[in-house]
Amino acid sequence: MLQIGASLKRADAPQKLSGTAKYIDDYRLPGCLHGATLRTAIAYGRITKINFAPTFPWDECVVARAADIPGTNNVLFIEADQPLLTEDLVMHPMQAILIVGHPDRARAYEALKHIKVEYEEREPVLSIADSLAKKQLLRGEDNVFKRHLIEKGDLAQGFAQADRIVEGEYRVPHQEQAYIENHGIASWVEPDGTIVVHGSLQCPYYVHKALVKTFALPPERVRVINAVTGGAFGGKEDYPSVIAGHAALLALKSGRPVKLIYDRQEDMSATTKRHPAVVRHKTGVSKDGRLLAQDIEVVMDGGAFATCSGVVLSRGTLHATGAYECPNVRVRASVVATNTPPNGAFRGFGVPQTIFAAELQMEKIAAALSLDSLELRRRNAWRVGAVTATGQKLQESVGALKCLELCARRGHYLRKRQLYARWNSRKGNPTWRGIGIALCPHGAGFTGSGEVTLASRAAVALTKSGAVRILAASTDLGQGAITIFTQIAAQALGLPPGLIEVEVPDTALVPNSGPTVASRTTMVIGGLIERAAGQLKDALAQAGGRAPRTRAALKKAAAALCGGRQELRFEVAYEKPADITWDDSLYRGEAYGVFSYAAVAVDLEVDRLTYEVRVRRVTTAQDIGKAINPALAKGQIMGGTLQALGYALFERAEFQGGWMRNSQFTNYIIPSFADAPPMEVLLVEEPYSRGPHGAKGLGEMPMDVPAPAVVAAIHDATGFWFSEIPVLPENICGKFRNAEKTK
Amino acid sequence: MRGSPGSMTVLRPRSAAEAVILCAKHPGCLPLAGGTDLMVLWNMGELNGRRILDLSGVAEWRAVRKTAAGLRVGALATHAELRDDAFVRREFPLLVQAAAAVGAAQIQNRGTLGGNIANASPAGDTFPALAVYEAQIRVVSAKGERVIPFSEFFAGVKKTNLAPGELVSEIEFPFPPSRPRRQLFRKVGTRAAMAISKTVAAGLLWLGPDHRVRELRFALGSMAPTVRRLRAVEEFARGKRLTTEVTAQACNLMSQDVCPIDDVRSTAEYRLRVSQNILAAFLLG
């Protein structure tokens, strides 16, 4: 039976639907302490004194402080600049100072109220502009965490040839990942001294790497286990290393198991968000709508510590031109420090920021040329053979135009533009209607030489009792990794999926498959599993003459093949394709093995009385190479699209003095189901020769592309352009007021 | 979860009589009706050490009844019960629309009209409907019973004129003088559901045979510390034909009765303009 392209039901669905899936806070840990985190109350300065109120019964508590850290007081990620617990220097609000443990969770929080911290406050840097102006020096000589530069062709010559030059500036805000399960980690110390961490996390080996350093332990003395994780969206890529360090430190100090579970308010105000950014474009075009020169500047706000900002910036930089070919390009990008909680990974990873700008710039250019932006995109979109800004020649699997055309046709883009012009001219209608379109690429897998550096591993094991088990560190965050891996292995082995198990991502049991990020799990790790399963199949075939197809046959073959061994393990590692080259110093070469593509048409209406926007319909075509499981692929696309509609229309993290003031769902507004429009998802399959069955990355792309289409549709409806999101009813209202004033 | 169940005392009266006695005996106890507001505070740890008066056992405050004079809604009737009641749907449609705009289905299933009123949020979604229907709030205490006109019930943001020991028992809705010519409920929230109002409006309009305004009632929530009837607008419109000119003048008078602010959900400017747009559309039909 063909497993690939079949919409197998999700392996984890019954437990999640029935409430029996165990999330970390569902585990009973007898005798455990509950941790509560004391956090900084200022944005920048020094701690001068910490006073414990003598009236509180401190003997009920265990307090873990920086002095208790056996190794180094930092959270090793890409850099090691972030202290696990701050002793002195305060770099942002909500920075952890110490952890109080108490057997009663509410008492642990109560205890925090009896600790007074005194500070010597300094004027903080709270904006990109202030950081660039070096209002305070937070980092190095210029507050810049990282810079990237891409250059192609001759920019001056490109502008000299241009008939029109169009300039624009675009801004995007913070965005909260808003996973359904808050951050949570449990930790305990085994009798042999092994520190165990169990929790809601994306990347077990990232946490492992950080803990080894913090606790100065050999790698085998740290064990990280992934619990059922209720969503992550990047938000559980780096921050779990912080919480795991806190929980493990308290476990070590108290000698008891520890649970450290954040509530929504703490989670939202302390943990990472999408990087805000300012993007400037200057584009030279010919009369007939050919891009001749693109000069792009990207500045992102990294917050107080490096986290993965440099890599987010890299991906943003590499997507800054959009999916368009231009002979002369310069992209200058930097990410700067501010006294706000560090920003980090979030689905899209820098791309939603730069694609928002790139796509709205296309709208602006089209308007300047009196051309529909659809036509402008057609004329410049990547095709096979196109050369990107880094000099990468696209050899195969370029579905950009196909997505664009399909989306425009099925979304009735051009017809609705005319229809809505008539609708909007009728005074009695209750709304203004509009439709907008956008296109984006999304590089699949790690950037540049990232996959080579990661050298990911995965395995398929056969036990002597006849169980086939997939061993990978990739976590199922709700995206369906377990199901996809099962399908790929089942197909390779010629076995029914029911005979295949997926091991819990546990660093004691599975090899390091790298992180569950970058739309790489199906394409890269799925590919490794396919290879490993192929090796197992060959071994089975060699041993038994032909590959088993039933449980009984498998059992028999396993007993014969394993001999006296408990299990046979087939482990494979990522191998760099010979023809992919990347120069990290010059930012030249194959930035990604392949790109996926998405086009989206957003049809919406704006209420004439309240300026509220209601999205009526979304049509999207996405080239993902091959849908291993079409139902899961469509689900991912719908979810990501809704998340992006939130980015465009609702979500505003209100920062004041470096603090997020609206850190609950009451006032940080994400779309509800009542806001979710009907969506038509069209899967385009331009196969990638190196992906399993042609598959490319999918997870992040749906988040990249809707925001500019929303803004274009609002323009179509109201006649007003917005260069910043979210576009709230208040902003639309303001445009009408200003228009009346100037009248 | 910062709430500490161990630190809290829960009183569980089985009747209205017992509820008022317990309430008198324990001043400062916090009544629990549907719990949709209370549980939020509980989760934040703000009720630790508090005494809770759980009213779920007080069956006599749950009824929704038709009377000769109108409608009587027990304080513990849920928004879902109001929303689905055939008599309420026929006679007090704005109350139905308002109840259906509160939170979402889950909140409507738990949340009660009495709890909503006693919580006294400036953004209470049902309040403009209660204001234009000129509801009467029946309150009881160990000392007896009294009726407070809805317009005099609130003292400010999250503050009521309930005396210590008083509990809301029933809300009375007198029949309007006749079928209104036009009626309106409109909530403008931060999203389509589970939203706190930026502005929320209810209106009733009666016209004479000459198309002149016989009576206008219009109320707004989220536009002042408490829900407000637009008295100046209502007075101004009385006896006038609703021309474009009159409507514009009426809208200009809105500010006399409301004072919207900038906050985390919206801006004063937006709230005023949108409320004016809604009023204008209502008056112009």
Contacts (Cβ under 8 Å, ≥6 apart) of B263: none
Of chain B, the end-to-end C-alpha distance in Å amounts to 49
How does DSSP assign A191-227, residue by residue?
A: TTS-EEEEES-S-HHHHHHHHHHHTT--GGGEEEEEP
Neighbours of A57 (CB within 10 A): 10
Chain B CB contacts of A662 below 8 Å: 264
The answer to whether residues A599 and A646 belong to one domain is yes
Strand arrangement, sheet containing A144-152 = A144-152, A329-337, A291-303, A277-285, A164-172
Give per-residue pLDDT as tens, A39-62: 999 999 999 999 999 999 999 999
pLDDT of residue A25: 97
* pLDDT at position B234 over 80: yes
* Residues B61/B65/B71/B77 CA torsion (nearest 10 deg): 40
Q: Which of B192, B196, B270 sits opposite A672 (nearest CB)?
A: B192
Q: Which of A95, A112, A115, A80 is nearest to A44 (CA)?
A: A95
- Say yes or no for a CB contact (<8 Å) between A106 and B7: yes
Chain A CB contacts of B194 below 8 Å: 665, 672
pLDDT of residue B241: 97
Structure tokens at A61: 């508590």
A114: contact with B, CB 8 A cutoff:
no
> What are the residue ranges of CATH 3.30.390.50 in chain B?
182-284
- Say yes or no for a CB contact (<8 Å) between A263 and B1: yes
In chain A, the residue whose alpha carbon lies closest to the alpha carbon of B1 is A263
pLDDT of residue A579: 81
The answer to whether residues A657 and A737 belong to one domain is yes
Q: Where are the beta strands (DSSP E) in A677-723?
A: 679-684
Interior CA angle at A377 toward A372 and A381, to 5°? 165
- Say yes or no for a CB contact (<8 Å) between A667 and B265: yes
Work out the minimum CA distance from A665 to partner chain B, whole angstroms: 9
The answer to whether residues A551 and A696 belong to one domain is no
Alpha helices in A370-412 (DSSP H): 373-380, 400-410
Q: Which of residues 12-71 of B touch A (CB under 8 A)?
A: 40, 43-45, 48
Give the C-alpha separation, A681 to A333, whole Å: 33
The answer to whether residues A423 and A563 belong to one domain is no
* pLDDT at position A18 over 80: yes
* Residues B268/B273/B276/B277 CA torsion (nearest 10 deg): -140
Q: Which of B43, B264, B267 sits opposite A654 (nearest CB)?
A: B264
Give per-residue pLDDT as tens, A536-586: 999 998 887 788 989 999 999 999 899 889 999 999 999 988 888 999 999
Q: Could you say which of A236, A265, A294 is where a domain stops? A: A265
Q: Which of B1, B43, B274 sits opposite A610 (nearest CB)?
A: B274
Mutate to test the interface with B, among A733, A737, A738, A740 (most CBs of B within 10 A): A733
* pLDDT at position A743 over 80: no
Q: Which of A311, A261, A639 is nearest to B1 (CA)?
A: A261
* pLDDT at position A3 over 80: yes
Q: Is residue A146 part of a domain?
A: no
Work out the minimum CA distance from A205 to partner chain B, whole angstroms: 29
* pLDDT at position A300 over 80: yes
C-alpha distances in Å from residue A52, one per residue of A34, A66, A117: 19, 16, 9
Structure tokens at A281: 């474009």
The answer to whether residues A341 and A468 belong to one domain is no
Of chain A, the end-to-end C-alpha distance in Å amounts to 69
A26: contact with B, CB 8 A cutoff:
no
Q: Which of residues 195-214 of B touch A (CB under 8 A)?
A: 195-196
Mean pLDDT of chain A: 97
Mutate to test the interface with A, among B39, B194, B272 (most CBs of A within 10 A): B194
Mind spelling out the 3-state secondary structure of A112-134? Answer: HCCEEEEEEECCCCCCHHHHHCC
- Say yes or no for a CB contact (<8 Å) between B1 and A610: no
Location of structure tokens 């000459």: B210
Give the C-alpha separation, A21 to A231, whole Å: 13
The answer to whether residues A442 and A463 belong to one domain is no
Q: Is residue A630 part of a domain?
A: yes
> What are the residue ranges of CATH 3.30.465.10 in chain B?
60-174
pLDDT range class, residue B1, cuts 50, 70, 90: confident
Work out the minimum CA distance from B207 to partner chain A, whole angstroms: 23
What is the residue range of A84's domain? Answer: 31-122+182-265
Q: CATH number of the domain at A559, please.
A: 3.30.365.10
In chain B, the residue whose alpha carbon lies closest to the alpha carbon of A732 is B270
A662: contact with B, CB 8 A cutoff:
yes
* pLDDT at position A287 over 90: yes
Proportion of chain B above pLDDT 70, given as a percent? 100
pLDDT of residue A86: 97
pLDDT of residue B200: 98
Strand arrangement, sheet containing A613-623 = A431-443, A595-607, A613-623, A679-684
DSSP character at residue A8: P
The answer to whether residues A565 and A620 belong to one domain is no
The answer to whether residues A462 and A376 belong to one domain is no
Domain B182-284 has CATH 3.90.550.10: no
Q: Which of B188, B193, B269 sits opposite A672 (nearest CB)?
A: B193
* pLDDT at position B131 over 80: yes
- Say yes or no for a CB contact (<8 Å) between B44 and A265: yes
Q: Is residue A544 part of a domain?
A: yes
pLDDT of residue A448: 82
The number of C-beta contacts closer than 8 angstroms across A and B is 81
B60-174: what fold?
3.30.465
Across chain A, how many H-helices and E-strands are there? 20, 27
B5-57: what fold?
3.30.43
Q: Which of A263, A662, A734 sits opposite B264 (nearest CB)?
A: A662
B106: contact with A, CB 8 A cutoff:
no
Give per-residue pLDDT as tens, A338-397: 999 999 999 999 999 999 999 999 999 999 999 999 999 999 999 999 999 999 999 999
pLDDT of residue A577: 84
Q: Which of A105, A675, A730 sits opposite B266 (nearest CB)?
A: A730
| Burial category of A216 from C-beta neighbours within 10 Å (exposed 0-12, middle 13-18, buried 19 and up) | exposed
Q: Could you say which of A573, A603, A632 is where a domain stops? A: A573
Q: Which of residues 248-267 of B touch A (CB under 8 A)?
A: 264-267
pLDDT average, residue stretch A94-123? 97
Chain A CB contacts of B195 below 8 Å: 669
* pLDDT at position A14 over 80: yes
Q: Is residue A611 part of a domain?
A: yes
Query: Residue A604, CB half-sphere, CA atoms under 13 Å: how many?
Result: 31
In chain B, the residue whose alpha carbon lies closest to the alpha carbon of A260 is B1
Give per-residue pLDDT as tens, B57-76: 999 999 999 999 999 999 99
Give per-residue pLDDT as tens, A129-145: 999 999 999 999 999 99
Give per-residue pLDDT as tens, B165-211: 999 999 999 999 999 999 999 999 999 999 999 999 999 999 999 99
Q: Could you say which of A517, A547, A573 is where a domain stops? A: A573
The answer to whether residues A414 and A475 belong to one domain is no
| ipTM of the complex as predicted | 0.97
The answer to whether residues A261 and A281 belong to one domain is no
A104: contact with B, CB 8 A cutoff:
yes
Contacts (Cβ under 8 Å, ≥6 apart) of A417: A372, A435, A716
Structure tokens at A328: 């002369």
Work out the minimum CA distance from A60 to partner chain B, whole angstroms: 16
In chain A, the residue whose alpha carbon lies closest to the alpha carbon of B284 is A428
The answer to whether residues A507 and A568 belong to one domain is yes
Q: Which of A347, A327, A391 is nearest to A516 (CA)?
A: A347
Q: Is residue A173 part of a domain?
A: no
A611: contact with B, CB 8 A cutoff:
yes
> What are the residue ranges of CATH 3.30.43.10 in chain B?
5-57
Q: Is residue A68 part of a domain?
A: yes
pLDDT of residue A592: 95
- Say yes or no for a CB contact (<8 Å) between A106 and B1: yes
The answer to whether residues A443 and A544 belong to one domain is no
In this structure, are strands B51-54 and B30-32 parallel, antiparallel, or unpaired? parallel
In this structure, are strands A184-189 and A457-463 parallel, antiparallel, or unpaired? unpaired
Q: Name the more confident of B193 and A448.
A: B193
Contact, B22 vs B61, CB < 8 A?
no
pLDDT of residue A1: 62
Q: Which of A275, A205, A274, A264 is nearest to A240 (CA)?
A: A205
Chain A CB contacts of B188 below 8 Å: 610, 612, 729
Contact, A351 vs A267, CB < 8 A?
no
A527 three-class SS: helix
